[in-house]
Amino acid sequence: MADITLSSAVRSNLLSLQSTTQLIDRTQTRLSTGLKISSPSDDAVKFFQAKGLNSRASDLNDRKAAIDQGISALDTALKAADALEDLAKQMKGVLDSARSGTDAQRKEYSEQLIDLALQIEKLVGDATYQGLNLLSSTAAKLSVRFSDKADSKLEVDGVDFNASSFFMKSSGTALGLVDFSADNASIASLVGFEQAMSAFQFSVAVQLASFNAQADDAVARLDETISNLQSKASTLANNVAVLKVRSDFTKEYVNVLETGSGKLVNADLNSEGANLLALQTRQQLGIQALSFAGQAEQSILGLFR
The domains found in the chain, sorted by start residue, are: 48-264 (1.20.1330.10)
Nearest to 20 by CA among 284, 290, 271: 284
What is the reported pLDDT for 30? 67
Mean pLDDT score of the chain: 83
Handedness of CA 207, 211, 212, 213 (dihedral sign): positive
Query: Sorting pLDDT into bands at 50, 70 and 90, what band is 294?
Result: low
What is the reported pLDDT for 179? 64
Enumerate the H helices of the chain as residue ranges.
8-33, 44-98, 103-126, 163-166, 188-191, 205-265, 269-301
Nearest to 293 by CA among 17, 4, 19, 8: 8
Radius of gyration of the chain (CA): 40
Mean pLDDT of 116-140: 93
What is the reported pLDDT for 174? 84
What is the reported pLDDT for 148? 84
Mean pLDDT of 241-251: 96
Instruction: Please give the distance of CA 100 from its chain centroid, rounded to a whole number.
Output: 50
Poorest-pLDDT segment among 44-58, 167-181, 207-221 = 167-181
Poorest-pLDDT segment among 15-29, 117-131, 150-164, 226-240 = 15-29
Query: Sorting pLDDT into bands at 50, 70 and 90, what band is 124?
Result: very high
Mean pLDDT of 111-121: 88
Report how far residue 203's alpha carbon sits from residue 237's, in angstroms, rounded to the nearest whole number: 48
pLDDT at 139 over 80: yes
pLDDT at 6 over 70: no
